[in-house]
Structure 1
């Protein structure tokens, strides 16, 4: 009897495992089909609006993104917004961790990246929102050489560059005001490539011009 019960439990357990695996396979297939439909919709939108889509494109700005994953861009769409050459891309990187019991987990971090091609070269520079630690450091040690001199801006943002004297030649008063008002994203510039990113992905093709517009505004307000 005991052997029969044990055998029956093993059979039930095997059925449960098989059913779980089948659900995983179905989920993977459905997700793959949804992604393909989403990519197809992006491609159709791009063709209709004079843009073009590339999958797995090589990029030279991954080291300016979280995770610095050189193969992290899964797709990009290229076109123009207000006369400027624009790229909107999806980027991701994965982190892994192990708990005290030796169990490993991984997490994929996804971003929408916007790049705007500039007509002239700029010094390497980035604007970042201050973290709590950065605000504390400013309170203790004062402003760095890259400070703008506007208390509202310098309290909210910090600028990274190896050439502090060029900060005022790049950031116009109008751009500083837009940052204070929260109407433009944080960004970095290197040569002729202006870049920004945000968490998420392109959920609908119609979002693309709106995703690019804030960085295009930055490009318009940069001093050359």
Structure 2
């Protein structure tokens, strides 16, 4: 093989390596700056910024990664203690090539966790909008014990509850109406933590307090059912 071809190949490999290193450096710097913005915002608004907080939220999150909560910001919204956290977990997959070789790849899944404190201690309960599979299952097998008996709601949402008898205690008329209106997110409740989980990572922090509005409304309706 021509030595010039070998040299050109080595140069290309070196260039790719340098680009990868530079991309990693830039990514780490941007991540550091992003976290610094969150921390500065927390100080300015009298919130608390906590890296790697001790918590039990991971038990209710996808992947159940005990060390997955990387940071949390905690403050008060609408007179309630609230927290927003970042959580992640990693999945690994292995593929086989036609020659019998295998390759392994990993993917990290990022989530934002919104938590509002509710008075009292509640058994596990969550509400989810029905998808096609859930609607089909309902057609085949009927409603579960957690159904409210109100067709517009039961056809649009499914409720999971550790104690089905508590469902009607939680879902008053106003909560049902607002959930149906689309003004409220899917949520879960356990102990004193009311939670919403969404994919992504925190960006600019200025909109954080307003994002708690719908979940604070859920908390109010749970504590004061009407």
Partner secondary structure for residue 96 of structure 2: coil
Contact 2:119 2:223 (8 Å CA) reproduced: no
Spell out, residue by residue over 1:92-151, the C-alpha distance to the aligned partner (whole angstroms, 9 max, x if none): 111122223222222211111011111212221111222322111101111111001222
Alpha-carbon offset, residue 193 of structure 1: 1.2
Alpha-carbon offset, residue 197 of structure 1: 0.7
RMSD: 1.3
Partner secondary structure for residue 222 of structure 1: helix
Could you tell me which residue of structure 1 aligns to residue 147 of structure 2?
147
- Mapping of residues 72-87 of structure 1, within 5 Å: 72-87=68-83
Could you tell me which residue of structure 1 aligns to residue 66 of structure 2?
70
Distance in 2 (CA, whole Å) between partners of 1:21 and 1:204 is 32
Distance in 2 (CA, whole Å) between partners of 1:214 and 1:195 is 11
1:49 and 2:45 are equivalent in the alignment? yes
Partner secondary structure for residue 93 of structure 1: strand
Distance in 2 (CA, whole Å) between partners of 1:162 and 1:44 is 40
Alpha-carbon offset, residue 200 of structure 1: 1.1
Could you tell me which residue of structure 2 aligns to residue 88 of structure 1?
84
Distance in 1 (CA, whole Å) between partners of 2:207 and 2:85 is 12
Q: TM-score, normalised by structure 2?
A: 0.93
Distance in 2 (CA, whole Å) between partners of 1:223 and 1:110 is 31
Q: TM-score, normalised by structure 1?
A: 0.93
1:211 and 2:207 are equivalent in the alignment? no
Alpha-carbon offset, residue 44 of structure 1: 0.9
Distance in 1 (CA, whole Å) between partners of 2:194 and 2:152 is 24
Could you tell me which residue of structure 1 aligns to residue 5 of structure 2?
9
Partner secondary structure for residue 103 of structure 1: strand
Distance in 2 (CA, whole Å) between partners of 1:99 and 1:178 is 46
Contact 1:185 1:215 (8 Å CA) reproduced: yes
Structure 1 residue ranges without an equivalent (≥5): none
Distance in 1 (CA, whole Å) between partners of 2:130 and 2:217 is 22
Structure 2 residue ranges without an equivalent (≥5): none
Distance in 2 (CA, whole Å) between partners of 1:54 and 1:73 is 10
Spell out, residue by residue over 1:137-184, the C-alpha distance to the aligned partner (whole angstroms, 9 max, x if none): 101111111001222211121111121111000112111111111111
Deviation beyond 6 Å, 4+ runs, structure 1 = none
Could you tell me which residue of structure 2 aligns to residue 114 of structure 1?
114
Distance in 1 (CA, whole Å) between partners of 2:138 and 2:119 is 35
Distance in 1 (CA, whole Å) between partners of 2:82 and 2:170 is 20
Distance in 2 (CA, whole Å) between partners of 1:107 and 1:210 is 31
Could you tell me which residue of structure 1 aligns to residue 95 of structure 2?
99
Distance in 2 (CA, whole Å) between partners of 1:15 and 1:41 is 39
Contact 1:171 1:223 (8 Å CA) reproduced: no
